């Protein structure tokens, strides 16, 4: 290149992915729905990380959130209600080269698919999980969700729900082999973006609970959440989620929390009256099942044939 | 034999000559935990290794630790050994070895023995300290005599005590030694078999068991009048010995499948046991999922991302997997699903045989969910059909079922060693750029086939969905598009059907009666046909390997026979039962399908006793039918 000193090396990528390389179709979520914000943040993160679209897979279940893969110009798997985790784990098992994301909702993950949530966390495969928690069933038109606050009036509980909600964060922190638990919200874009990026960088099952607006069915909750800044606390730490100063300024309450300290995370959630946004827990050393799955990749047919002959010998007369 | 005095075995003075026989059925029954299954499987393996035809059937108690000396506790194996190839379990046993007098009654209830069956029974109960047990034993011996059994009372415990302080754990190998002498088995092979059986145990355990084996052999040599040999017909083919589940596991490896995703369920699980021991050596990984749904979901995910995966289950597992099976069909994901059938409905008979999943496999999903269903009829085919199923699944981009059953799963027999071929193994995952302008479901008008993009293929990005979709993979609710895509998925079956030939009739091409079977009953049906044809009856049989789609030409074949009847192990109404008429009679599963398919009056003979079908029952039924 003219004018460049010979000892100077310049790396030029073959191609540069722009936002439009990740965009597909027009999202059919209600206006004001938090899902739009997450879609934008995820597309931005993909561009920032320059994830090749053909090496990126979004797996979802069923529900409003689970329409997500249709709006990403990557590979996608829009499967069955509650079953995104097993599918995503199967995708990742023999494909360490793929960036795998799961997009799920409060009903999908914590109700019909709760068994897979428990085991998905335990498998700790290198997958980024985005749980859209709007505390209501939206797609099927306002039924009580396992995370609906006690007393929520819905079509299935017209006089108010009768059971306390599932505590997603405490439950996840209590699961065996948990390696990454964070909380963010769709209405603080800077924090949302930083959290998704941190989750993607985590070598393991990065579980992100995203508090979501559902203006259609939970307007009161949205108003309550978005108008009271003192309801929230920002978790701060060098190993935590780093946000820009403008985002940081939005928070009146800030709490120092070391994400390696699971006991402190549990204590905060147990005692605090606040919604804690940030990284609650991270352990990069947890056992990873995807490494077990990909340990013997790439055998040649000759190798397989030879090994199979050895096995047949054991059945020989 | 008139009385018990004759049953006492005394040392022999002069060794009698061995009697040459063409086949025998030997049963070994003990309390659960006493190891009769080990004796039986070892004896079968030794015989197979000597070149005999063998078929073994396990007698499995329903509970893990049932109380000792009860009918529920009966555990063991029935082994049919012959000079030539054996294809089924056969009828009543010639010899029974029983570790106590109670456990045989489970089998007596099932007519497993006949007049003249030789009973070798543990005699320790005759002088047991408990009066109740002594009386029970004496009563049973009287009963055995009345039934015409020939009793030999054997001091198993007494002899084993000379070698081990715990004969309960060692009696089985002593009995194996006894049987080895009785049937002139090669002791070098027997010793190797004992070492293999206890390969996961300590040297000391192996040593003790080898001593017990020798002791049983020597005692029999000094005391037993019963001496047989079953000549072998020398074979120039190299042979293997295995059961159906082991063959399925080897088939998975030989198909080049790299992910086997399962949840434990009887009687399918042992497929994963044997495969798990070597799967990593052949480039595969076993995944034990958290439940049946996750097991198939994981397999579908792995298939979607590259190589076709397999899941292995049984009836209740199929029920749980139903929604994912529908997704596999709708989204056109290649997948191999192996169902080792057991008794249903619900948890039913977990360890017993039934062919009860055919209709649920074919029609279990909401809407129309066409899929290919194969039924191996031998243990050799269990191996071959996995390789076939993987190839079909990929070529036709759909789930392919293999219906095995508990009879094939645990039946042990010999088969020619397959010569492994490179083309059996799945090719590397295609990661080349996707051809521009080709849609992810670009259905061929003629065949309904389309090529699937695999993650990593640049330009092939699409979102798989279980919702109705257009050829571009986009969700659509347009009436004509839904009708069209349903037609394409169905057309794939017709396209596959084009590759099939009419099945071969066993026996003459026409006659009075055609018996039709599928899966594990083939051996028993064909043996029954042989017996009946030898008596001059005009009877033939047909085994169907392909159940969806069916092989062509069935109507034409059926029309050459005066009567056509399926023989199956699943439920059908008996026409002589109360309220049952020709109008409301519910038929067996294949019969339903064949009646609809051929519009012919296909009858059925089926039951759900949970037992392998034997030739004798089929012969009796045919005699009854043709004498009508």
The predicted pLDDT at position B554 comes to: 98
Pair B361, B271 in one domain: yes
How close, in Å, is residue A314 to chain B by CA atoms?
A: 9
Residue A190: pLDDT over 80: yes
State which of B474, B499, B524 marks the end of a domain: B499
How close, in Å, is residue B594 to chain A by CA atoms?
A: 34
Instruction: With CB atoms and an 8 Å threshold, state whether B302 touches A90.
Output: yes
pLDDT band at B2 (very low <50, low <70, confident <90, very high): low
Query: Which of B259, B304, B418 lies closest to A77 in CB terms?
Result: B304
Let me know if residue B308 belongs to a domain.
yes
Instruction: With CB atoms and an 8 Å threshold, state whether A115 touches B294.
Output: yes
What is the average per-residue pLDDT within A176-183?
A: 98
The predicted pLDDT at position B628 comes to: 61
Query: Is some CB atom of chain A closer than 8 A to the CB atom of B233?
Result: no
CB pairs under 8 A between A and B: 192
Closest CA to A35 of A167, A156, A130: A130
- Interval B268-302: pLDDT, tens: 999 999 999 999 999 999 999 999 999 999 999 99
Segments in B364-478 forming alpha helices (H): 379-396, 406-410
Backbone angles phi, psi at B141, to 5 degrees: -65, -40
Query: Which of B278, B306, B457 lies closest to A311 in CB terms?
Result: B278
pLDDT band at B7 (very low <50, low <70, confident <90, very high): confident
The predicted pLDDT at position B96 comes to: 98
Strand partners, B339: B313, B403
Give yes or no for a contact between B537 and B512, defined as CB atoms under 8 angstroms apart: yes
The whole domain housing B510 covers 505-626
- Interval B507-536: pLDDT, tens: 999 999 999 999 999 999 999 999 999 999
- % of chain B beyond a pLDDT of 90: 90
pLDDT band at B233 (very low <50, low <70, confident <90, very high): confident
State which of B195, B229, B263 marks the end of a domain: B229
Residues found in chain A:
317
Residue B235: pLDDT over 90: no
Let me know if residue B235 belongs to a domain.
no
Let me know if residue B384 belongs to a domain.
yes
CA B252 to chain centre: 17
- Interval B394-419: pLDDT, tens: 999 999 999 999 999 988 899 999 99
How close, in Å, is residue A292 to chain B by CA atoms?
A: 9
- Interval A259-315: pLDDT, tens: 999 999 999 999 877 899 999 999 999 999 999 999 999 999 999 999 999 999 999
pLDDT band at B471 (very low <50, low <70, confident <90, very high): very high
Instruction: With CB atoms and an 8 Å threshold, state whether A86 touches B294.
Output: yes
Give yes or no for a contact between A236 and A278, defined as CB atoms under 8 angstroms apart: yes
Pair B547, B491 in one domain: no
Per-window interface: B 449-468 vs A, CB < 8 A: 453, 455-467
B235 vs A275, higher pLDDT: A275
Provide the sign of the torsion angle of the four alpha carbons B468, B471, B474, B478, taken in this order.
negative
pLDDT band at B61 (very low <50, low <70, confident <90, very high): confident
d(CA B403, CA B315): 10
In the three-class reduction of DSSP (H, G, I as helix; E, B as strand; rest coil), residue B530 is classed as helix
Query: Which of A75, A86, A305 lies closest to B422 in CB terms?
Result: A305
How close, in Å, is residue A51 to chain B by CA atoms?
A: 12
Pair B494, B513 in one domain: no
> Is residue B302 exposed (0-12), middle (13-18) or buried (19+ Cβ within 10 Å)?
buried
- Interval A19-57: pLDDT, tens: 999 999 999 999 999 999 999 999 999 999 999 999 999
Provide the sign of the torsion angle of the four alpha carbons A269, A271, A276, A279, taken in this order.
negative
The predicted pLDDT at position B14 comes to: 86
The predicted pLDDT at position A24 comes to: 96
Average pLDDT, chain A: 94
Query: Which of A79, A94, A302 lies closest to B327 in CB terms?
Result: A79
Pair B22, B130 in one domain: yes
Instruction: With CB atoms and an 8 Å threshold, state whether A75 touches B297.
Output: no
Percent composition of chain B: helix, strand, coil (DSSP 3-state, to 5)? 40, 20, 40
The predicted pLDDT at position B245 comes to: 97
Instruction: With CB atoms and an 8 Å threshold, state whether A93 touches B422.
Output: no
Other Cβ atoms less than 10 A from the Cβ of B470: the count is: 16
The predicted pLDDT at position B607 comes to: 96
How close, in Å, is residue B379 to chain A by CA atoms?
A: 13
Pair B419, B278 in one domain: yes
Query: B509: domain CATH number?
Result: 3.40.50.920
How close, in Å, is residue A80 to chain B by CA atoms?
A: 7
pLDDT band at A174 (very low <50, low <70, confident <90, very high): very high
Instruction: With CB atoms and an 8 Å threshold, state whether A310 touches B281.
Output: yes
pLDDT band at A2 (very low <50, low <70, confident <90, very high): low
What is the average per-residue pLDDT within B119-139?
A: 96
Let me know if residue B234 belongs to a domain.
no
- Interval A202-236: pLDDT, tens: 999 999 999 999 999 999 888 888 888 888 999 99
Residue B5: pLDDT over 80: no
B76 vs A273, higher pLDDT: B76
Let me know if residue B31 belongs to a domain.
yes
* Domain parsing of chain A, residue ranges: 19-290
Task: Count how many domains chain B has.
Answer: 4
Instruction: With CB atoms and an 8 Å threshold, state whether B464 touches A301.
Output: no
Full DSSP string of B36-69: HHHHHHHHHHHHHHTT-EEEEEEE--SSSSPPSS
Average pLDDT, chain B: 95
Among the residue ranges A55-69, A216-230, B169-183, the one predicted with the least confidence is: A216-230
Pair B29, B110 in one domain: yes
Query: Is some CB atom of chain B closer than 8 A to the CB atom of A83?
Result: yes
Pair B387, B344 in one domain: yes
State which of B456, B471, B499 marks the end of a domain: B499
d(CA A87, CA B275): 23
Query: Is some CB atom of chain B closer than 8 A to the CB atom of A292?
Result: yes
What is the average per-residue pLDDT within B353-364?
A: 97
Let me know if residue B375 belongs to a domain.
yes
Provide the sign of the torsion angle of the four alpha carbons B284, B288, B290, B296, taken in this order.
positive
Instruction: With CB atoms and an 8 Å threshold, state whether B327 touches A118.
Output: no
Pair B566, B593 in one domain: yes
The predicted pLDDT at position A1 comes to: 44
**Does domain A19-290 bear CATH number 3.10.20.90?**
no
Residue B363: pLDDT over 60: yes
Residue A5: pLDDT over 80: no
pLDDT band at B4 (very low <50, low <70, confident <90, very high): confident
Among the residue ranges A112-116, A142-146, A270-274, the one predicted with the least confidence is: A270-274
Query: B120: domain CATH number?
Result: 3.40.920.10
Pair B73, B134 in one domain: yes
Residue A13: pLDDT over 80: no
CA A310 to chain centre: 44
The predicted pLDDT at position A18 comes to: 96
How close, in Å, is residue B456 to chain A by CA atoms?
A: 5
Residue among B193, B305, B468 with most chain A CBs within 10 A, to mutate? B305
The predicted pLDDT at position A8 comes to: 60
What is the average per-residue pLDDT within B24-32?
A: 96
Per-window interface: B 487-526 vs A, CB < 8 A: none
Other Cβ atoms less than 10 A from the Cβ of B57: the count is: 26
Query: Is some CB atom of chain A closer than 8 A to the CB atom of B195?
Result: no
Instruction: With CB atoms and an 8 Å threshold, state whether B287 touches A293.
Output: yes
Query: B406: domain CATH number?
Result: 3.40.50.970
Query: Which of A76, A93, A315 lies closest to B242 in CB terms?
Result: A315
Other Cβ atoms less than 10 A from the Cβ of A96: the count is: 14
Give yes or no for a contact between B77 and B28, defined as CB atoms under 8 angstroms apart: yes
Give yes or no for a contact between B260 and B390, defined as CB atoms under 8 angstroms apart: no
What is the average per-residue pLDDT within A135-143?
A: 96
């Amino acid at each position: 290149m003219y004018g460049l000193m010979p000892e100077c090396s310049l790396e030029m990528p073959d191609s540069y992915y722009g936002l439009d390389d990740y965009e597909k179709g027009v999202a059919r979520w209600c206006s004001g729905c938090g899902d739009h914000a997450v879609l934008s943040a995820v597309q931005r993160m993909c561009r920032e990380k320059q994830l090749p679209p053909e090496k990126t897979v979004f797996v979802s279940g069923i529900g409003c959130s689970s329409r997500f893969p249709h709006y990403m110009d990557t590979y996608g798997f829009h499967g069955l209600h509650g079953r995104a985790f097993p599918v995503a784990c199967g995708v990742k098992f023999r494909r360490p080269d793929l960036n795998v994301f799961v997009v799920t909702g409060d009903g999908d993950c914590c109700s019909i698919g709760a068994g897979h949530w428990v085991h998905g966390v335990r498998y700790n495969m290198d997958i980024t999980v985005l749980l859209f928690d709007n505390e209501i069933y939206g797609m099927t038109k306002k039924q009580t969700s396992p995370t609906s606050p006690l007393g929520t009036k819905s079509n299935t509980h017209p006089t108010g729900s009768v059971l306390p909600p599932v505590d997603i964060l405490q439950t996840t922190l209590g699961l065996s082999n948990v390696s990454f638990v964070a909380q963010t919200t769709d209405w603080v874009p800077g924090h949302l973006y930083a959290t998704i990026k941190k989750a993607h960088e985590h070598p393991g099952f990065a579980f992100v609970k995203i508090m979501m607006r559902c203006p259609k069915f939970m307007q009161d909750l949205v108003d309550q959440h978005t108008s009271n800044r003192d309801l929230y606390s920002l978790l701060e730490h060098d190993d935590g989620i780093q946000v820009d100063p403008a985002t940081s300024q939005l928070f009146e309450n800030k709490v120092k929390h070391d994400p390696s300290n699971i006991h402190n995370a549990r204590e905060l959630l147990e005692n605090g009256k606040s919604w804690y946004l940030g990284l609650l827990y991270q352990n990069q050393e947890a056992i990873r099942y995807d490494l077990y799955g990909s340990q013997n990749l790439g055998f040649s047919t000759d190798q397989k044939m030879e090994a199979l002959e050895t096995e047949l010998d054991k059945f020989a007369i | 034999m008139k009385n018990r005095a004759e049953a006492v075995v005394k040392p022999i003075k002069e060794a009698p000559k061995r009697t040459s026989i063409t086949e025998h059925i030997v049963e070994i029954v003990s309390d659960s935990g006493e190891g009769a299954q080990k004796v039986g499987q070892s004896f079968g393996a030794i015989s197979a290794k000597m070149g005999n035809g063998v078929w073994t059937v396990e007698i499995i108690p329903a509970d893990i630790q049932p109380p000792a000396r009860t009918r529920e506790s009966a555990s063991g194996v029935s082994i049919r050994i012959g000079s030539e190839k054996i294809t089924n379990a056969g009828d009543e046993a010639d010899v029974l070895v029983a570790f106590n007098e109670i456990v045989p009654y489970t089998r007596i209830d099932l007519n497993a023995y006949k007049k003249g069956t030789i009973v070798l029974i543990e005699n320790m109960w005759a002088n047991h300290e408990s009066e109740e047990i002594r009386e029970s034993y004496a009563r049973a011996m009287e009963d055995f005599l009345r039934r015409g059994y020939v009793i030999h009372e054997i001091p198993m415990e007494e002899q084993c005590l000379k070698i081990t302080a715990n004969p309960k754990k060692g009696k089985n190998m002593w009995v194996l030694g006894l049987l080895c002498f009785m049937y002139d088995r090669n002791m070098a092979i027997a010793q190797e078999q004992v070492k293999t059986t206890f390969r996961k145990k300590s040297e000391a355990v192996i040593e003790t068991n080898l001593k017990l084996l020798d002791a049983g052999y020597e005692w029999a040599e000094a005391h037993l009048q019963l001496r047989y040999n079953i000549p072998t017909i020398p074979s120039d083919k190299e042979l293997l010995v295995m059961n159906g589940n082991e063959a399925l596991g080897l088939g998975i490896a030989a198909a080049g499948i790299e992910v086997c995703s399962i949840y434990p369920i009887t009687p399918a699980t042992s497929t994963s046991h044997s495969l798990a021991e070597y799967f990593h050596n052949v480039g595969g990984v076993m995944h034990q999922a958290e439940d049946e749904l996750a097991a198939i979901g994981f397999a579908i995910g792995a298939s979607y991302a590259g190589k076709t995966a397999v899941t292995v289950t049984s009836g209740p597992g199929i029920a749980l997997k139903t929604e994912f099976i529908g997704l596999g069909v709708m989204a056109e994901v290649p997948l191999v699903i192996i169902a080792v059938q057991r008794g249903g409905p619900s948890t039913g008979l977990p360890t017993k045989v039934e062919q009860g999943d055919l209709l649920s496999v074919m029609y279990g999903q909401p809407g129309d969910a066409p899929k290919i269903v194969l039924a191996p009829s031998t243990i050799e085919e269990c191996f071959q059909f996995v390789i076939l199923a993987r190839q079909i699944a990929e070529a036709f981009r759909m789930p392919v079922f293999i219906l095995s059953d508990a009879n094939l799963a645990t039946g042990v027999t010999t088969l020619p060693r397959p010569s492994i071929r490179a083309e059996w193994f799945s090719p590397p995952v295609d990661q080349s750029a996707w051809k521009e302008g080709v849609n992810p479901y670009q259905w061929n008008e003629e065949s309904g086939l389309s090529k699937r993009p695999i993650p990593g293929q640049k330009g092939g990005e699409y979102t798989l969905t279980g919702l109705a979709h257009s050829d571009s993979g986009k969700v659509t609710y347009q009436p004509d598009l839904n009708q069209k895509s349903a037609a394409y998925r169905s057309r794939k079956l017709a396209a596959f059907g084009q590759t099939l030939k009419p099945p071969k009739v066993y026996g003459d091409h026409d006659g009075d009666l055609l018996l039709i079977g599928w899966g594990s009953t083939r051996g028993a049906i064909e043996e029954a046909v042989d017996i009946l044809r030898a008596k001059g009856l005009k009877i033939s049989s047909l085994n169907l390997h392909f159940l969806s789609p069916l092989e062509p030409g069935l109507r034409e074949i059926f029309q050459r026979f005066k009567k056509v009847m399926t023989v199956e192990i699943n439920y059908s109404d008996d026409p002589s039962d109360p309220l049952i008429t020709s109008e409301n009679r519910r038929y067996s599963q294949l019969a339903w399908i064949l009646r609809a398919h051929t519009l012919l009056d296909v009858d059925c003979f089926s039951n759900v006793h949970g037992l392998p079908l034997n030739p004798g029952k089929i012969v009796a039924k045919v005699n009854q039918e043709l004498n009508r």
